[in-house]
């Protein structure tokens, strides 16, 4: 199975690195230890940072980051495949919705 990480250009959303956010704000943005993030199993939940871009008539009208839950379905080498278990704000034409498959890594 070929897994690809989401991009703003292709998907209208992408994932933000929790590790990078934690490095910038270590006392206010907490994340699980790397060993815990590397040992997720099917059924486990992971809270990820989604960078979402909203467009209207091809023009960006909003962009923001939301923390949302993803339930792990499978692991493929260094990547996880999960399903979104949160309900992002609904906007016309947005492809992000509950139940959509999300590819992510332990470093995301």
How far is it, in rounded angstroms, from Cα 62 to Cα 70?
23
How far is it, in rounded angstroms, from Cα 79 to Cα 75?
6
46 vs 95 pLDDT, higher one = 46
Give the model's pLDDT for residue 18: 94
Question: Which residue in 94, 38, 44 sits closest to 66, CA to CA?
Answer: 94
Q: What is the mean pLDDT of the chain?
A: 89
pLDDT higher than threshold 60 for residue 91:
no
Give the model's pLDDT for residue 12: 85
pLDDT digits (tens, 9 = 90+) for 33-60: 999 999 999 999 999 999 988 777 777 7
Hey, what are 52's tokens? 């979402």
- Domain definitions of the chain by residue range: 8-105
pLDDT digits (tens, 9 = 90+) for 56-83: 777 777 778 899 999 999 999 899 999 9
């Amino acid at each position: 199975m070929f897994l690809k990480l989401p991009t703003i250009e292709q998907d209208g959303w992408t994932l933000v690195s929790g590790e990078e956010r934690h490095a910038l704000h270590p006392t206010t943005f907490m994340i699980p230890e790397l060993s815990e993030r590397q040992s997720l199993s099917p059924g486990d939940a992971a809270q990820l940072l989604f960078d979402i871009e909203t467009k209207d008539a091809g023009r960006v009208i909003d962009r923001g980051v939301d923390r949302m839950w993803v339930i792990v379905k499978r692991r493929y080498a260094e990547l996880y495949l999960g399903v979104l278990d949160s309900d992002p704000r609904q906007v016309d034409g947005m492809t992000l919705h509950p139940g959509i498959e999300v590819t992510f890594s332990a470093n995301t």
